[in-house]
Structures are given as C-alpha cells and as structure tokens.
Amino acid sequence: MAKTERSAQNPLRSFLKAGVLALPLLTGAPLGALADEEALKIIDREKLTDFVQQDCGSCHGLTLEGGLGGPILPENLEHMDSDVIQEVILGGLPGTAMPPWRGFLTETEAAFIAEGLKTGAFK
C-alpha cells in the first residue's frame, strides 16, 4: 500500500475515502471501476485498525483506555500533535516500555494511526 501511496500529507483522508468506496463492496454491488489500489487500501485500513487494537492494545488496552502503557484516547493526546505521535510510534520512547515500530509500519501507516488516535477512530 505505502509504496503506491503518494499523498502522504493526509493519509487519513484517502483512507476515509476508501472506506466510503467500500460501501458498494459490502452491499454486494458490482465493483465497477473501483480501482485495485482502492481495494488494497480498504484491506490495509482494516489491518491497521486490527493492529492498533491487538498490538498497541496489548499494552494500552484493547479499547486503548490504558494498561501497563498509558491511555491513548483522544482526550489523552490533546497536547500532542499527530506528527509527534507518529514519531513516538516509529521511534519509541527510550527509557520506557514503548518500543519503536519502525520496520513494522511505514511513515504513512504511522501517520494514519496517529491521526486515528487523535480522532478516536479506533475506539
């Protein structure tokens, strides 16, 4: 996905767009001209949501309300810009249990997660 993604500026928007486009898929309507690229994004969005709930969730709680790691709900992240959150996701927080996820996640994917955490998209 990330390889074909060019507009890294606002990945959330394109993901949301992909989510809207997914509707005909769910209702069984013919795919028509829905590009493979869009279908690919739909899968990745689900995968990333699952990743946040399961893998982030193993420390931060399944609904991100906190565990051994602190809560990461929108109200907990108000003071952080999403690019800072993105950097924490990718680089980890040395001296804490937060590991660097670079290697698991691309810049774009980390940006999508950061933005989603700010807006409560994974709750």
Partner 1 sequence: MKTFFAAAALGAGLLFASAASSEDLRATGDLGLIIERATGTALIVESTDRTVLAQVEGLGNLSHASVVYSRDERYAYVFGRDGGLSKVDMLTGKLVGRVMQAGNSIGGAISDDGKLIAVANYKPGGVNVFDAETLELVSEVPAIYDEVGNQSKTIGLVDLPGRRFAFSLWDGEQIWILDYSKSLKPEITKLEDIGVFPYDALVTGDGRHYIVGLFGEDGLAHVDLWKEPLTVERIMDGYGKGEEPLPVYKMPHLEGWAKANGMYALPAIGRHEVLFMDERDFTEVDRVKVHGQPVFAMARPDGRQIWVNFAPPHNDTIQVIDILERKIIKTMKPGPGVLHMEFTPRGNEVWMSVRDKNEIHVYDTTDFSLKEVLPAEKPSGIFFTSRAHQLGL
**Interface with partner 1 (CB under 8 A):** 53-55, 57-59, 61-63, 65-68, 92, 97, 99-100, 104
- Among 110, 39, 119, which Cα is nearest to 77's? 119
Q: Residue 4: which residues within 8 A CB-CB, separation 6 or more? A: 37, 40
Q: Which is nearer to partner 1, 21 or 76 (CB)?
A: 76
Q: Which is nearer to partner 1, 12 or 73 (CB)?
A: 73
Q: C-beta of 49: minimal distance to partner 1 in Å?
A: 12
Q: C-beta of 88: minimal distance to partner 1 in Å?
A: 13
Show the DSSP H helices in the chain as ranges.
11-26, 36-51, 57-60, 82-91, 107-119
Q: C-beta of 54: minimal distance to partner 1 in Å?
A: 7
Q: Which is nearer to partner 1, 59 or 80 (CB)?
A: 59
Q: How far is CA 90 from the centre of its chain?
A: 12
